[in-house]
Chain A
C-alpha cells in the first residue's frame, strides 16, 4: 500500500511539474510581450522593465527563468490581472468558493438522485420503469447544457416567475464576503434580514444546481445501472439466490456493496466534468465563479489570468481525481493489483 501511495504521489508530482512547465511556456506562447504576460502589468516603464527582467531572470536561460517562475508561484506571487491590475491569486480566492459551492451541491444532487434511480433501473432493466429511467438518462446525457439552461430560464423564471434568472443572491442584500461560500457568509453576516437572505440565496441556487446536476446525474444512473447489472451476473449473487434469500436481501447484502464501490471512483471523474460544465452554467446564470471569470478573461485577452486559472483548475481536478483513486484503492484491495 505504501509503495502504491508513493508511486501515486510521484506521478502527481510529475504531472504538476509538467503543468507548471506548460504554464510557464504559456508566457511565451501567448501573443504579446512575455514580461507583460508574466507580470500582468499593463504599462511597464524602462526602469521597471530592467528591474523585472532581473527579477524574473528573463536575461538568463529558459531553465533559470522557469525556476524563477516556480519560486514566484510557490511564494504566492502570481502576477496581476491585465483587466483589474489586482493580484491574481487574490481574485481567484474570491471566485473559487462560488464554483466549489455550486459544484458541491450539484455533485450531491447527482448522487442522491443517480444512485437510487440507477439501482431501480437495474432491478428490472426491461420493465417499463427501467426503460423510462434509461431513456430519460440518455436524453439528459445528450442535452447541450447551455440550451437546457436557457429553456429552464424561459420556463421557470420568465414564464412562471418562480426563480430569479441569475446571480447568487439578490443584489440588495449586502452580505460581506468572509468565506466566499454564500450560505456560510449569510450565517456569519450580522444583518437583520438573515432569514430572508437565506431564502433568497436558496431560490438563486435551485436552477443552476439543477442544470449543473443534469449531466452527472444521468452518467451516474447509467453507471450504477451497468455496475448493478454486471454484479447481478456474478456467481456469488447466483449463490445467494440459490440460498433462498429474497430479492431485496440479495440486492442489499451482496449487490449494492459490490456495485457501489466503483462509485467512489466516480466522484473524481464527475468532479472534473462538473468543473467544465460549471463554466457554461456560470456564464448563463451570471454566477460569479471561476468558470465565468476564466471565460471573461479569455474575452479580455487577459493572459496572466488565463494562465493562473488554468493552473488552479487543472491542479484542483487532478488532485481530486488522485485522492478519489487512492480512496477507492483503500476500500477495494482488488484495484491495487492492476
Chain B
C-alpha cells in the first residue's frame, strides 16, 4: 500500500507536462460517442435508432443480413433458405458451430441451433411465453408490421432447420427478418435465468452471437463491450468497444476534437466544413433511406380535420427549414418515401409554401381566429432531423403568420418517446430511418392501423383505404403491381396529410482519421465489427 502511495505521488509530479505512455488497453480500444443511452439491450423491443446503433450489430446476429452496397439479402445465421411455391412456408438452414457469448454471467454449453430461433420469435408471438410480457409485451416493430397475424408458427424441423409458416404471402417477410430488430437471442441463457427467477436480466445483461460481448452498463454514462474471441466471422481487431453517452452535440464535438471519442454520431451539419479541414478527423458520408416529418395527432381536434392538416402543411416554409436545420445537406421531401426507393412517386407536387391559402383553409374549417397547439420536438439529434428544437422554432414563427400559436414541448429522450407513444402530443417533429430496403418499411410501421395501436404511428392515423392498399401491395410478389399500390398510397397520403414530410437527409459520421473500417448500413445501425486503428 505504501509503495502504491509513493508511486501515485510520483505520478502527480509527472503530471507537470510529462508525456505519459499510453497503455495497451487504450490503444486497442475504440470509443463511440452516442447521442443517448440505450433503453435496454434487446433489439426486439426497440424502435429508437440510438439503441439500435449501440446494441444490434455489435452484440447480435440475424438470420439474414443486408448488403450495404445494393440492399440485397445476404446469409447471416441462416446459410440458406427456401420459399414454398405458394409463398406460405419458408425453411431456413442454420449455420453450425456458432457460439454464444462466454461472459462472467453465462457460459454456453452448446452452440447456436434451431431452438434459439424458435425461442426468439415465439417470445414475440406467444402471449403465453414466459418472456413475452417482460417489459410490457411491446414489440413495436413487429406489431407495426402485424407479425403475430402474419406468422402462424415457427418450428424446428431439425437441429439446424427452422420453418416459418405464414398465414398469407408477404413480400416483405424476408426483409423484416434482416432488420436489426430480428436479432437472435439465446434460448439456453433464457432458460437459465428462468430457473434462477431472474427473467428481467435477459434484456439488461444480454447474450448474443455478435462480434462483441457485453461487459457493463453504467446508466447514462457508458456501455462497455469486449470482443467476442469466438466470433464466427473472425475476431474483431479492437479488444474493447465503449459507447460513451454524450447527449449534448457540442460536447460530442469537443470529445472528437480532443480525441476522447473515435467516432461521433451525428456531427452537426453546420460544423462539417469546419471539421473536414482538420487533418486528424475525417467525415464519412453515406446515403441513407430516412425521412424527417411533422406528424399531427389525428385523434385530437382540430387535427382530425383534413383541411386543418393541409393548412398547417402549406403554412411552413420547407426551403427555409432545409437551409437552417439541414444546411442544405438534405433532399426536400415530397412524401415519406425517399426518391431512392423503387416505389417512389415522382408525380407528387413539390411542397407548397402559401400562408395566404393556409389562412383560407383554416377559415373554411371554422378556425379563422386561429388556435393554440403544442409542437413536440425531439431533444436529441437524429439522422433524419439534426435539430428538432430549431425546426420547431422555425415552424413556430411560420405558424404565427397564420394566427396559430405554437408552444414548443420537449422532454428527455426516453421520457419523450414514452409520452409520445401514450399519445399525449398535438403534433411532433420526429422521423424514421429505414430498417430494410423494402418500401413497406416506410408505410406499415409509420402509418398503418396496427402501428397506431402499437404506438409507432405518431399521427395515430388509421385509414381503411390506406391499410387496404398496403395489404394489397404485400400480398403480391410482382414488383410492378406492388409499385402501383404504393404510388396510390403515396397520393392518398398527400391528400390526407396525416404528417408533413420535410426532408431526406444524408448520414454523416465524424471519425478519427486513424480509424478505419466503420460500416454505415443505409438500412439500419452502425456496424463496428471491422473497425480498426491504423497507426501512422
Q: Which single member of A86, A170, A174 contacts B260 (CB below 8 Å)? A: A170
Residues on B with beta carbons closer than 8 Å to the beta carbon of A299: 379, 411-412, 415
Q: Determine if A173 and B26 form an interchain contact, defined as CB atoms under 8 angstroms apart.
A: yes
Q: Give the size category of B's interface with A.
A: 35 or more
Within 8 A of A (CB), among B394-421: 411-412, 414-415
Q: Determine if B25 and A173 form an interchain contact, defined as CB atoms under 8 angstroms apart.
A: yes
Is the CB of B4 closer than 8 A to any CB of chain A? yes
Is the CB of A187 closer than 8 A to any CB of chain B? yes
Q: Determine if B220 and A170 form an interchain contact, defined as CB atoms under 8 angstroms apart.
A: no
Min CB distance, A99 to chain B, in Å?
14
Complex Cα distance, B224 from A253, in Å, reads 57
Q: Determine if B260 and A167 form an interchain contact, defined as CB atoms under 8 angstroms apart.
A: yes
Within 8 A of B (CB), among A28-54: 43
Number of A-B residue pairs, CB cutoff 8 Å, is 103
Is the CB of A132 closer than 8 A to any CB of chain B? no
Q: Determine if B258 and A199 form an interchain contact, defined as CB atoms under 8 angstroms apart.
A: no
In the complex, per-residue mask of B133-159: 1 if CB is within 8 Å of any chain A CB, else 0:
000100000000000000000000000
With both beta carbons as reference points, the residue of chain B lying nearest to A293 in the complex is identified as B220
Is the CB of A140 closer than 8 A to any CB of chain B? no
Is the CB of B450 closer than 8 A to any CB of chain A? no
Q: Which single member of A165, A173, A300, A302 contacts B254 (CB below 8 Å)? A: A165
Q: Determine if B242 and A171 form an interchain contact, defined as CB atoms under 8 angstroms apart.
A: yes
- Known contacts A170-B260, A174-B25, A192-B23; A83 and B414 CB within 8 A of each other: yes
Residues on B with beta carbons closer than 8 Å to the beta carbon of A195: 7-8, 11
Residues on A with beta carbons closer than 8 Å to the beta carbon of B136: 43
Within 8 A of B (CB), among A151-194: 153, 157-158, 161, 163-167, 170-174, 187, 191-194
In the complex, per-residue mask of A184-210: 1 if CB is within 8 Å of any chain B CB, else 0:
000100011111111110110000000
Complex Cα distance, B24 from A167, in Å, reads 21
Is the CB of B222 closer than 8 A to any CB of chain A? yes
- Known contacts A84-B219, A192-B23; A300 and B257 CB within 8 A of each other: no
Min CB distance, B192 to chain A, in Å?
22
Complex Cα distance, B22 from A202, in Å, reads 15
- Known contacts A164-B258, A301-B411; A286 and B251 CB within 8 A of each other: yes
Is the CB of A101 closer than 8 A to any CB of chain B? no
- Known contacts A171-B242, A199-B14; A166 and B255 CB within 8 A of each other: yes
Q: Determine if A187 and B222 form an interchain contact, defined as CB atoms under 8 angstroms apart.
A: no
Within 8 A of A (CB), among B214-255: 215-216, 218-222, 224, 240, 242, 244, 246, 251, 254-255
- Known contacts A187-B8, A199-B14, A286-B246; A166 and B221 CB within 8 A of each other: no
Within 8 A of A (CB), among B18-61: 20-26, 29, 31
In the complex, per-residue mask of B490-530: 1 if CB is within 8 Å of any chain A CB, else 0:
00000000000000000000000000000000000000000
Residues on A with beta carbons closer than 8 Å to the beta carbon of B411: 299-301
Q: Determine if B21 and A165 form an interchain contact, defined as CB atoms under 8 angstroms apart.
A: no
> Which of A86, A158, A164, A195 has most chain B Cβ within 10 Å?
A195
Q: Determine if A198 and B415 form an interchain contact, defined as CB atoms under 8 angstroms apart.
A: no
Is the CB of A87 closer than 8 A to any CB of chain B? no
Is the CB of B12 closer than 8 A to any CB of chain A? yes
Is the CB of A226 closer than 8 A to any CB of chain B? no
Q: Which single member of B4, B7, B12, B31 contacts A171 (CB below 8 Å)? A: B31
In the complex, per-residue mask of B257-269: 1 if CB is within 8 Å of any chain A CB, else 0:
1101000000000
Is the CB of A288 closer than 8 A to any CB of chain B? yes
- Known contacts A158-B257, A187-B8, A300-B414; A199 and B23 CB within 8 A of each other: no
Min CB distance, B76 to chain A, in Å?
30
How many residues of chain A are within 8 Å of chain B by beta carbon? 39
Min CB distance, A54 to chain B, in Å?
25
> Which of A167, A171, A173 has most chain B Cβ within 10 Å?
A171
Residues on B with beta carbons closer than 8 Å to the beta carbon of A171: 31, 222, 224, 242, 244, 260
Min CB distance, A289 to chain B, in Å?
11
Q: Which single member of B7, B24, B258 contacts A158 (CB below 8 Å)? A: B258
Is the CB of B15 closer than 8 A to any CB of chain A? yes
Complex Cα distance, B242 from A173, in Å, reads 10
Residues on B with beta carbons closer than 8 Å to the beta carbon of A161: 258
Residues on A with beta carbons closer than 8 Å to the beta carbon of B20: 196, 199-200
Within 8 A of B (CB), among A196-255: 196-200, 202-203
Complex Cα distance, B224 from A299, in Å, reads 25
Q: Determine if B257 and A166 form an interchain contact, defined as CB atoms under 8 angstroms apart.
A: no
Min CB distance, A206 to chain B, in Å?
8
Complex Cα distance, B23 from A192, in Å, reads 9
Complex Cα distance, B504 from A130, in Å, reads 62
Complex Cα distance, B23 from A198, in Å, reads 12
Q: Determine if A288 and B221 form an interchain contact, defined as CB atoms under 8 angstroms apart.
A: yes
Q: Determine if B11 and A199 form an interchain contact, defined as CB atoms under 8 angstroms apart.
A: yes
Complex Cα distance, B443 from A297, in Å, reads 35
With both beta carbons as reference points, the residue of chain A lying nearest to B20 in the complex is identified as A199
- Known contacts A83-B415, A296-B220, A300-B414; A193 and B25 CB within 8 A of each other: yes
Residues on A with beta carbons closer than 8 Å to the beta carbon of B22: 196
Q: Determine if A172 and B255 form an interchain contact, defined as CB atoms under 8 angstroms apart.
A: no
Residues on A with beta carbons closer than 8 Å to the beta carbon of B7: 194-195
With both beta carbons as reference points, the residue of chain A lying nearest to B245 in the complex is identified as A286
Within 8 A of A (CB), among B373-387: 379
Complex Cα distance, B4 from A187, in Å, reads 7
With both beta carbons as reference points, the residue of chain B lying nearest to A156 in the complex is identified as B258
With both beta carbons as reference points, the residue of chain B lying nearest to A204 in the complex is identified as B260
Q: Determine if B240 and A300 form an interchain contact, defined as CB atoms under 8 angstroms apart.
A: no
Complex Cα distance, B410 from A299, in Å, reads 9
Residues of B within 8 A of A (CB): 4-5, 7-8, 11-12, 14-15, 20-26, 29, 31, 136, 215-216, 218-222, 224, 240, 242, 244, 246, 251, 254-255, 257-258, 260, 379, 411-412, 414-415
With A174-B240, A192-B23 already in contact, 6 other A-B pairs whose C-beta atoms are closer than 8 Å: A83-B415, A164-B258, A172-B240, A191-B25, A202-B12, A301-B415
14 A-B residue pairings within 8 Å (CB atoms)? A153-B254, A157-B258, A163-B258, A166-B246, A171-B224, A172-B29, A174-B25, A187-B5, A191-B25, A193-B26, A194-B7, A196-B23, A199-B15, A296-B412
